[in-house]
Amino acid sequence: MTAGGQGDVDPYQPDHGSTAFHVEHYDLDLTYRPHLNRLHGTATLRVRTLEDLTELALDLAGLTVEKVTLTGARLARYVHRADRLVLRLGGEVTAGTELTVVVRYGGNPAPISSPWGPVGWEELTDGVVVASQPTGAPSWFPCNDRPADKATYRTSITVDNPYRVLAHGALVSSKRRASATTWVYEEKRPTSTYLATVQIGQYEEHELVAEPVRQAVLVPTALRTAARDRLAHHGQLMTFFARIFGPYPFATYTLVITEDDLEIPLEAQGLSIFGANHLSSTDGDERLIPHELAHQWFGNSVSPSSWQHIWLSEGFACYAEWLWSEESGGRSADALASTWHRRLSRLDQDLVLADPGYRRIFDDRVYKRGALTVHALRGALGDEAFVAMVRGWTSRYAGGSVTTADFREHALEHATETGGTELAGEVQGLLEAWIDGAALPPLDGASGRGWLDALRR
C-alpha cells in the first residue's frame, strides 16, 4: 500500500508526480483575462489507481484551490501546500479503482522557478506563452506531472477578443460572443503533461504546406513576411524527416512565432514555439527549426519515462539538425560530428549519458554526445539498417514512454538481424562506451556512401 500516493520516487523529480496512479484524461475548462493575467479553471481528471492508496497527490503551483470533489471514493479532506494538492481519502482504495477528481481553482498564473529558469505559464508583452518543460505544467492545471504519465486532453479556454488561442490537439470548435471567444481543442493521442500547452496572442494563421500533413504558422501580422521566408522549405523538411524517421506521428504541425524575443524555442504536442528573434538571426539558429520538428517523433510521440533518459529526445533532435544540414546543402553529418567530437574532447569528461544527474539534463553535452552516439550507431549498423532501426523505434513505442534500456535492447535486436552476434557484440560495446562511460570514446565516421541519395530512390 502507498499511503502517501507517491509510489516510487524518481530521483530526477522527487517532488513531482506519482507512480501510484495514472491520469487517463484531463478535461480543462478555462477562462483567461489577458489584461489582468487572471485565470479561472475547472479541471476534471479521470484517474485509475495503480496501487492501494489512502491519499492521492496532484501537482498545482501558484494558484488557489476553491473546491475539490471526488467520485469513486470518499474524500475526507484536501490540503494544498508546497505546490502539492493532497486528497486524503476516507479509507483505503485498492489498485485498479476508477476515480474522477474535479478541481476548481484560479488566480494569477506565473512560471515556476527551476534550476534552468522560469518554466510554465508566462505573460508576453501581449499574450501568453506556455512552455512547460520540464516541470511547468502545474503552473496552469492540476496534474500528475511526470513525463511517463501520458493522457488524452480536452482543453476549452475562453479569452477576450481579438486574442487567438492555440492548444495541443485538434480545434473542434470556436464560439464567438460579443467580447470573447471560447476555443475547444481535443488531443486524443497520449500526451505528457510538459507537452500540454496554451498559446494566446493576436496571431494570424497561415498554411505553409498541406503535405505530407498540414503545416501552419501562427504569427503576428508584422512578422508574416519574415516567417514565410524563414519557413519556405518547411514542407521539404517534413517530407525528409518522415522518410528517415517514419510517418509524422500527429495530424498537423503548427509553428507559433511570438512577438517577443524568446531565449530558446520549445516543443509542445503537435507544435513548436519560437520567438521573433529566431526569424532574423544569422548565427545558426535556423538549425532550431529541424530540431524542434524532430521532437515530434523523439520526445513527444516517443517520450522519456524520466528526465534521466532525456538524451533519447535531445540526442536524436540534435542529430536531426545534422541530417537536415546535409540534405539541404550544408555541412555533412560526418563533418558536424567530427567538429562536435573535437569540441567535447576539450570539455570535462564527467558526464554519463545514461545518468547525467538532474541539474545537468539540459547540459549541452547531453545533446551533442547524444547525437554523436546516434552517429556512431549509424556507422556501426550501416545506413539501411540504421534507418530501419530508427523507424522501428518510432513505430514500436509511438504514444509510449521509453528508457535507455529500451533503446539498448532495440538497437541490439537490429544489430543481430543485420550482422548476427558479431555485430551485436560490436554495438553492445559501442553503446556501453558512449552511454555508460564518462570518457569520450573515439569517433568512427558513418558510411559516407551517399545514403541520402539512396533513400530517395
Residues catalogued as catalytic: 292, 367
Residue 425's alpha-carbon distances to 408, 421, 428, in angstroms, are 12, 6, 5
168 is in an annotated binding site: no
Question: Could you give the CA distance from residue 71 to residue 74 in angstroms, rounded to a whole number?
Answer: 7
Point out which residues pair with 257 in neighbouring strands: 274
The strands making up 164-167's β-sheet, listed across from edge to edge, are 120-124, 127-131, 198-201, 164-167
Polymer length in residues for the chain:
457
Question: Could you give the CA distance from residue 163 to residue 32 in angstroms, rounded to a whole number?
Answer: 11
In 3-state terms the chain splits into helix, strand, coil percentages (rounded to 5) of 35, 35, 35
Residues 369 and 437: beta-carbon distance below 8 Å: no
- Residue 306 phi, psi dihedral angles, 5° rounding: -150, 155
Residues 275 and 262: beta-carbon distance below 8 Å: yes
Q: How far apart are the first and last CA of the chain?
A: 57
Peptide bond into 134 cis (omega under 30): yes
Written as one string, the DSSP assignment of 45-85 is EEEEESS-EEEEEEE--SSEEEEEEEESS-EEEEEEETTEE
How is residue 246 written as a grid cell? 517514419
Secondary structure (3-state) at 391: helix
Question: Could you give the CA distance from residue 123 to residue 201 in angstroms, rounded to a whole number?
Answer: 10
Strands 214-219 and 252-257: parallel
Q: Which is nearest to 75 in space by CA: 55, 58, 49?
A: 55
384 is in an annotated binding site: no
375 is in an annotated binding site: no
Binding-site positions:
291, 295, 314
Binding-site positions for Zn(2+):
291, 295, 314
